[in-house]
Amino acid sequence: MTAITVDRLHKTYTVPEREGGLRAAVGSLVRRRTRQVRAVAEVSFEIDHGEVVGFLGPNGAGKTTTLKMLAGLLHPTSGEARVLGSTPWQRERSYLSRMALIMGQRNQLQWDIPVLDSYRLNQAVFRIPDAQFRSRLDELTELLELQALLRKPVRNLSLGERMKCEIAGSLLHAPQVLFLDEPTIGLDVAMQRRIRSFVADYNRRTGACVMLTSHYMADVEALCRRVIVIHHGRLLFDGGLTDLVHRFAAEKTITVELEESRADDADLARLVGGHPLERSATGISVRVPKAETARVAARLLAELPVVDLVVEEPPIESVIEQVFDAPEEQPSGQEVTGG
């Protein structure tokens, strides 16, 4: 069943344009110049209940803008969205009490008061009955190991501790849709792993639908079978993570283990068709264009004393880079009309 439907969502920001100098400053009092920045352009997709979807794109692609619209913080310029049957920017209480937006780079808890007091505020805002509040807090405290943190003011927490508290605070009302914007940014590897496994667990236990942006591909690989890629505000790809690799990976790596590494450099270069080659203690590895993989592998098998041969896709990071390098007809984040 569909949890999120996005239909040709579009967001253009109007930003004031100021030139330097006194003359321009006086002039702007009379006639204010603005320019339009297109952040999201005609984006459409659907996400089912229970899905965890990676929402990817380079800096400025329009991810946060999209999530803010879906969380009801921004009105779109045009287009439609339905999340859990509601239009997010109408900000109906019944919708807001069933969704959460967690932003790794924004502090959503109160800075100067203890974490637990912030949670109490959330309890009041979301009208969470006492018994439910207690049982969810106990559960989250155990899962995220918050016991020692609840009485500390947020300003005294480390980044990782604060992030755990932010996540727990946003889940006290048991949202059915989670928008996670860079939830692991700046955290050490162990904490990233803990947050990841917590999100996976939350999704499994509650069947909540999760949309996740992250620049760490380990997050995406661990959590998301499906990814939606946007670039310059436009949807570039929507499908399985493995399909993304098949479609955009330009090269594969062939690694062969050799009985003995007798072949000289010129011979090897000929066998691999001049593609970049690395020697190791036990053999060689070479990156070849996808279309040539079978031919090069066959030549290596036929002409070298091969013990083992492995063909691998490139790491997801480099595939994503290739996707982002795809040319676009009209970039966003730039002036599209003067005003």
Ligand X SMILES: Nc1ncnc2c1ncn2[C@@H]1O[C@H](COP(=O)(O)OP(=O)(O)OP(=O)(O)O)[C@@H](O)[C@H]1O
Dump strand ranges (E) for the chain. 2-16, 34-48, 52-56, 78-83, 99-103, 177-181, 209-213, 226-231, 234-240, 251-258, 277-279, 283-289, 306-312, 335-338
Least distance to ligand X, CB of residue 62, Å: 4
Q: Nearest distance from residue 187's CB to ligand X, in Å?
A: 16
Query: Which residue of this chain has its Cβ atom nearest to ligand X in the complex?
Result: 333
Under rule CB under 6 A, residue 214 binds ligand X: no
Least distance CB 73 / ligand X (angstroms): 11
43: Cβ contacts below 8 Å, ≥ 6 apart? 6, 8, 9, 10, 62, 66, 79, 230, 233, 234, 235
Paired with 54 in beta bridges are 212, 227
Contact call for residue 79 and ligand X (CB under 6 A)? no
106 near ligand X (CB under 6 A): no
Task: Collapse the DSSP code of 297 into the 3-class scheme (helix H, G, I; strand E, B; otherwise coil) and give the result.
Answer: helix
Q: How far is the CB of 64 from ligand X (least distance, A)?
A: 3
> C-alpha angle with apex 130: 127 to 131, nearest 5 degrees?
125
Instruction: Name 9's bridge partners.
Output: 43
Nearer to ligand X, 170 or 332 (CB): 332
Site string for ligand X, 42-71 (x = CB under 6 A): ---------------x-xxxxxxx------
Q: Which one of residues 3, 4, 6, 37 is an interface residue with ligand X (CB under 6 A)?
A: 37
Size of the site for ligand X (CB under 6 A): 14
| Smallest gap from residue 333 Cβ to ligand X (A) | 3
According to the binding rule CB under 6 A, does residue 41 interact with ligand X?
no
What does the alpha-carbon distance between residue 285 and residue 254 come to, in Å, rounded to a whole number?
5
CB atoms within 10 A of CB 157: 17
The phi, psi pair for 218, rounded to 5°, reads -60, -35
Q: Give CA–CA dist 54/228, Å, rounded.
A: 6
Residue 271 C-beta: closest distance to ligand X, Å: 42
Which residue in 4, 39, 115, 319 binds ligand X (CB under 6 A)? Answer: 39
Residue ranges in 274-333 that form contacts with ligand X under rule CB under 6 A: 332-333
| Chain positions contacting ligand X, by CB under 6 A | 13, 15, 37, 39, 57, 59-65, 332-333
